[in-house]
Amino acid sequence: MTALNPDVIHTWLADFASQVHENAAWLTDLDRAIGDADHGSNLDRGMRAVDALDAASFADSAAYLKKAGMTLVSTVGGASGPLYGTFFLRVGGALPPDGEIRASQWGDAFEAGLAGIVQRGRAEVGDKTMVDALTPAVAAFRGAGDDVKAAWAAAATASAAGRDATVPLVARKGRASYLGERSAGHQDPGASSVTLLIESAARTLG
């Protein structure tokens, strides 16, 4: 059991925002190779807007996360805007009321977030997208039992493995799919940023 409240959410989002900011050039470089060289700046723009939200102004964590999702939808654009936006909207919608929260409840919420991404983007594992990093993360979280801290750590490890596994893949979704065989040998930018998200969660939500 850990606590769920806007302050905790704020710590998580702020950590992710700073990770994205620090890694923006790297994410854009990954996107340069098999995309259009904007994933880092897109997400950075969005997370700076999220970071500017006032945690104290939200009634609860759900409202905060929904607003974060809407903010991403409204500021990011591209493929990652609706996907990341939907993710936070769904996580916010699936969380229990503020207070104590169990690992399984975090698991439910992240599963809902993942489902939102899949519903919007229709990608499957193996398509070389963020889904490749998020799906194993959620599964590992689920499989890790009741210790929230251990579950986040397992999720982060699984996410990183999923991200690394995108390297040899030929993309079937997103911009990288236009490259056909030439997309193989490059790490997916979205899978890379999702791993930053899970690692942030592991640092702040455990």
Ligand X SMILES: Nc1ncnc2c1ncn2[C@@H]1O[C@H](COP(=O)(O)OP(=O)(O)O)[C@@H](O)[C@H]1O
Alpha carbon distance 150, 96 (integer Å) = 20
Give the nearest distance from C-beta 8 to ligand X in angstroms.
Answer: 27
Alpha carbon distance 108, 86 (integer Å) = 15
Per CB under 8 A, residues contacting other proteins are: 28, 32-38, 41-42, 45, 73-83, 120-121, 172-175, 177-180, 182
Number of residues that bind ligand X (CB under 6 A): 24
Choose which of 42, 86, 135, 183 interacts with ligand X (CB under 6 A).
42
Q: Where are the alpha helices (DSSP H) in 56-188?
A: 61-75, 80-94, 103-121, 131-143, 148-164
C-alpha R_g of the chain:
16
- Beta partners for residue 100, in sequence order: 3
Alpha carbon distance 93, 143 (integer Å) = 23
Q: Which helix (H) or strand (E) holds 101?
A: strand 99-101
Give the nearest distance from C-beta 139 to ligand X in angstroms.
Answer: 17
Residue 71 near which of ligand X, other proteins, Mg ion, none (CB within 5-8 Å, type-dependent):
none
Stretch that binds ligand X, among 7-15, 119-127, 135-143, 156-164 (CB under 6 A): 119-127
Contacts with ligand X, 43-82, as mask; x by CB under 6 A = -----------------------------------xxx--
Cβ distance to other proteins smaller for residue 18 or 75: 75
Q: What angle do CA 177, 182, 186 make, to 5 degrees?
A: 85
* Region 20-79 residues binding Mg ion, contact defined as CB under 5 A: 31, 35-36, 38-39, 78
Structural tokens at position 158: 């699984």
Residue 179 near which of Mg ion, ligand X, other proteins, none (CB within 5-8 Å, type-dependent):
other proteins
58 φ/ψ angles, rounded to the nearest 5 degrees: -100, 140
Stretch that binds ligand X, among 7-15, 17-25, 124-132, 144-152 (CB under 6 A): 124-132
Alpha carbon distance 54, 146 (integer Å) = 31
Choose which of 66, 90, 142, 173 interacts with ligand X (CB under 6 A).
173
The residues, ordered by sequence, that sit 6+ positions from 178 with a Cβ below 8 Å of its Cβ are none
The label of the residue with tokens 């640092």 reads 203
Choose which of 190, 198, 199, 201 interacts with ligand X (CB under 6 A).
190
Residues lying near ligand X in the complex (CB under 6 A) = 31, 35-36, 38-39, 42, 78-80, 83, 117, 121-123, 129-131, 173-175, 188-191
